[in-house]
Amino acid sequence: MEFAMLKRGIFISQCKYVLDLLSETGLLGCRATETPIEPNLRLQSAKPDELTNRDQFKLLIGKIIYLSHTRPDIAFTVSVVSEFMYSLGLEHYDAVCRILRYLKGTQGKGLLFENHRHL
């Protein structure tokens, strides 16, 4: 986590973590998207023959869950995708890639804890 002391308060972000995650997944050069999930997306459990690398997917979801602590804008989408950790398919992986593409376009977002002290 990165912390910055500002006149308005303390800003917490995970910009480097996002860049590392994009680099690790090979999406550093991808085109960003404006939303973390497709509107009206209905994910379903995958058939046994559609399963992808479950361990890699779990690790990636875990990293995105950690990131959602400072990025409430992705919390809902992460919860939707993480429901399918044990029955995942290609559509689930595509949904995770969309979250990563969204993060690429919003790397500078974080939490601002404003200083409300009046002197």
SS3 94: helix
Q: What count of other Cβ atoms lies within 10 Å of the Cβ of residue 68? A: 19
What are 28-75's pLDDT values in tens digits? 999 999 998 888 778 777 666 555 577 788 888 899 999 998 899 999
- Domain locations in the chain as residue ranges: 2-114
pLDDT for the residue numbered 94 = 85
Average pLDDT, the chain: 85
pLDDT for the residue numbered 38 = 81
Q: Is the dihedral of CA 87, 90, 93, 98 positive or negative?
A: negative
DSSP 26: T
pTM: 0.84
